[in-house]
Chain A
Amino acid sequence: MADTMTEKSIEEINERIEDGSVRVVTADRMSEIVSELGAEEAAKEVDVVTTGTFGPMCSSGVFLNFGHADPPIKMQRVWLNDVEAYAGIAAVDAYLGATQLSEEKGLNYGGGYVIEDLVAGKPIDMRAAGYVTDCYPRKDLETTITLEDLNQAIMVNPRNAYQRYASATNSTDRTLYTYMGTLLPNYRNVNYSGAGALSPLYNDPDFETIGVGTRIFLCGAGGYVVGMGTQHDPIHRFGTLMVTGNLKEMNPEFLKGATFHGYGVTLYVGIGIPIPILNERMAKKTAISDADVVTDVIDYGVGRRERPVLRTVTYEELKSGMIELGGKEVPTSPLSSFFMANKVADELTSRIEQGEFFLSPQVERLSRDTVVKPMKQPELPLVKDVMIREVKTVDDRASIAEAAKLMMESQSTHIPVLSGDGKLAGMVTAWDISTAVAKRHEELSEIMTKKVITAGLEEPLELVIRKMERSNISALPVIDDERRVIGMVSSDEISKLIGKRKKWQWKLRI
């Protein structure tokens, strides 16, 4: 079968780039071309399909070499504009990660911004600290540097260009601020990411041309694919790439520091990958459209690793601006930029057409069977491990005096209030009772909290603690699916258990 196909080599395509006869189209136009001409003709007509993506890519960063100080220092720690870079590599090398936060400004400034500022040529304040050795007598230093002053600044991004990305919504009744953006309560919006039909890896899902050594466009510079990215998950079409490029050749237009409110700092990265149309098969593969790229809508209201999938959706639907969710039309927002992704693909197209960018064959194919494993961790303590099962409850028709008496007898400051059918109707605390006395209330239903924060039997304590902190409460009822009270968890019990298990604690100073 292969011999009946048009087969081109990368060398042939590069010759056409050289002599200016190369034919390049962006990936979004390819589906039209293939449906018009058929894959065989399209493979003859088109030499290169350009793809592009421009989105928040947290797993990004740069290796920097500062040159030696005089007297020399062996940096153990280094800060750039107050953002720490990892300095545990030789004396004056460091790796600055995009999501590292500023120690002063916290979520409003961090690694992504320092990288953008470097590329924009801005001066960066540098502080370093080390320990004294015979060859490195200096203990600390302070200076100001620009990109030009560095020997090398090499971007190495461990996980970029996700083939596709899940989209996010929120079932809870409070706004969530996530790496998937602002998620309004009660499924009121859906956010998504990724470039859809323009996505580099979606146009070469079996990695026939994109592999180790593939030359790419990275933030304005020429770059390379290092290999598969971290968390590369080809089986589920969540392939990723590790990429590299020279920061000194980058253009600030194609890389931007950014903050997701309440989540932190990231870096928007522009990546363009050319796909050589070597044969009919590649013409077919690059002919995908947004309607062919399917992803999941996931409920970020669930704070666990496995979050519920509410439905599947295509990028065509997502890009229409509205999708149907639980019988309602819900507005959608992309977090990555189609405008900029197009710009990346257009820029790559014009560089190839101008003879400024040549293709390289892959040195090695990316893995097609790597699997992504969850973190190995000790068993998680759950609500059922600490909850008190003997719970005194009070009927919602009881008097305040009765509730107060029960509190005294049971030595507990939080009492669940049940409605006639035995289901949780509210909570009453010692504080509510004292307020009631002061304000001369009579009815329990007048003073109890009706919007009760509850826990489930199988909920990790870590999440219950977050709930308690957020609402400033110290105990909450554990309920079953029918809203029947089956226990109570209190912060005292939790801290006893967690205190025994946790050997260390870390606090972010912001």
Chain B
Amino acid sequence: MKLLLRYPLPLDEMPYTAEVILETGAKINIDRATRDELIVDVPGDDVEHVAELFREKGVEVRKLLKLITWDEERCIHCGACISVCPTRVFTFNPSWNINLEEEKCVRCEICVKACPLSALACVE
């Protein structure tokens, strides 16, 4: 499961992720990092423990079930979102309608701008 972490101070001054990995032994993958925000992928069994440790350190933790929203009504299945996505969230089905694997998303927001129909948005 993906967790969105918001740090009280800029990331580079806070080695929290490393500490949590050491303390829990969980296989935490960093999907995406900005100066004060981090998206990490945590194996299901470790989620609760990891989230708790981060919270103890003053980090705001949110479980991300979905990083992007897709307005299926608005979507025309053009596919403009396909080639820009770094993690291949979008693919065509055999009948040329679009298929989303939302769990692959790292919330880079590129597809949001690329969608001509404004059918994609990032979860705040």
Contacts and interface: CB of A to CB of B under 8 A. Distances in A.
Interface of A: 54, 56, 177, 181-182, 184, 189-191, 256, 258-262, 266, 268, 321, 330-340, 342
B78 A334 contact: yes
A256 to B, nearest CB: 6
Which of A184, A256, A259, A333 has the most chain B CB atoms inside 10 A of its CB? A333
Contacts of A190: 83
**How many of chain B's residues touch chain A, expressed as a range?**
20 to 34
B97 interface: yes
Contacts of A334: 78-80
Interface string B90-121: 01100111100000000000100110111000
B84 interface: yes
Given A181-B116, A337-B77, A189 B84 contact: yes
Contacts of B78: 333-337, 340
A181 B96 CA distance: 19
B84 A335 contact: no
B68 interface: no
B110 A268 contact: no
Interface SS of B by simple majority: loop
Contacts of A259: 116, 118
Which of B77, B80, B97 has the most chain A CB atoms inside 10 A of its CB? B80
Which of B80, B81, B95, B116 has the most chain A CB atoms inside 10 A of its CB? B116
B82 interface: yes
B96 A342 contact: yes
Nearest to B111: A182
Interface in B65-84: 76-84
Given A256-B117, A335-B78, A342-B96, 12 more contacts: A181-B84, A184-B110, A256-B76, A268-B116, A333-B114, A335-B79, A337-B76, A337-B78, A337-B96, A339-B96, A340-B77, A340-B78
A233 to B, nearest CB: 25
B83 A333 contact: yes
Contacts of B95: 339, 342
B84 A182 contact: yes
Contact of A268 (B76, B81, B98): B76
A56 B83 contact: no
24 contacts: A181-B80, A181-B116, A182-B80, A184-B110, A189-B84, A191-B83, A259-B118, A260-B116, A261-B114, A331-B83, A332-B82, A332-B83, A333-B78, A333-B81, A335-B80, A335-B116, A337-B77, A337-B78, A338-B96, A339-B76, A339-B77, A339-B95, A340-B76, A340-B77
A334 B92 CA distance: 11
B54 to A, nearest CB: 33
Q: Report, nearest first, the 6 A-B pairs whose CB atoms are least far apart.
A: A333-B83, A189-B83, A339-B77, A258-B116, A182-B114, A338-B96
A54 B76 contact: yes
Contacts of B116: 56, 181, 258-260, 266, 268, 335
Contacts of B83: 184, 189-191, 330-333
Nearest to A54: B76
A340 B96 CA distance: 9
Contacts of A258: 116-118
Contacts of A333: 78-84, 114
A184 B86 CA distance: 11
A331 B90 CA distance: 12
A325 to B, nearest CB: 12
Contacts of A339: 76-77, 95-98
Contacts of A332: 82-83
A344 to B, nearest CB: 12
Nearest to A330: B83
Which of B76, B91, B95 has the most chain A CB atoms inside 10 A of its CB? B76
A56 B78 CA distance: 10
Contacts of A321: 82, 91-92
Nearest to A254: B76
